[in-house]
Amino acid sequence: MIAIAGITMPDCSIWHNEMEYGMPISNIETCTEGNKLVYSSGYDRRIDIYIPKIAGELTRQTVSELKALADNGGIVHLSINDRQMQAVFRHEDSPLELKPISAKQVQESGDSYYGMIKLLEV
């Protein structure tokens, strides 16, 4: 089960980049002599939650609640399969990449959405 600030995500939600989480972040540069320099800058703490394109799972109302949290910019409590964390929405790219399943001009509160929620553990 995944919950963001007490908002329970659908059962179909997955931690998309779980295997990359906690890996060292490094960059390699090649010098003019051919030597390689490795720069290390901590560990990957990005958390991407993916909600698949399944009707009835993630409603517009829930998306609106998530948008309000993302707009706030504060720390949120994150629970992923009984693992407790503190996180913020990642604003260096779009924190919510959620799209409606049904293509229509006016979305209603019960319409379903799918896509990615981007967080960063703090």
Higher pLDDT, residue 32 or 115? 115
Tell me the pLDDT band of 24, cut-offs 50, 70 and 90.
low
- In DSSP terms, 83 is beta-bridged to 80
User: How far is Cα 77 from Cα 79, in angstroms, rounded to an integer?
Assistant: 7
Name which of 10-14, 46-50, 54-58 the model is least confident about.
54-58
End-to-end Cα separation, the chain, in angstroms: 20
* pLDDT tens digits, one per residue of 50-83: 999 987 889 989 999 999 999 998 999 999 999 9
DSSP for 71-95 reads HH---EEEEETTEEEEEEE--SS-S
